[in-house]
Chain A
Amino acid sequence: GENVEQHPSTLSVQEGDSAVIKCTYSDSASNYFPWYKQELGKGPQLIIDIRSNVGEKKDQRIAVTLNKTAKHFSLHITETQPEDSAVYFCAASETGNTPLVFGKGTRLSVIA
Chain B
Amino acid sequence: NAGVMQNPRHLVRRRGQEARLRCSPMKGHSHVYWYRQLPEEGLKFMVYLQKENIIDESGMPKERFSAEFPKEGPSILRIQQVVRGDSAAYFCASSPGQGAGAKNIQYFGAGTRLSVL
Contacts and interface: CB of A to CB of B under 8 A. Distances in A.
Interface residues of B, number: 28
Interface stretch (A11-19, A60-68, A72-80, A100-108): A100-108
Interface stretch (B13-21, B38-46, B65-73, B75-83): B38-46
Most buried by B among A42, A51, A100: A100
Interface residues of A, number: 22
Contacts of A43: 4, 6, 91, 108-111
- Grouping DSSP codes into helix (H, G, I), strand (E, B) and loop, the A interface class, with mixed when no group exceeds half, is loop
Interface of A: 6, 34, 36, 42-46, 49, 51, 89, 95-105
Interface of B: 4, 6, 31, 33, 35, 41-45, 48, 56, 58-59, 91, 95, 97-98, 102-111
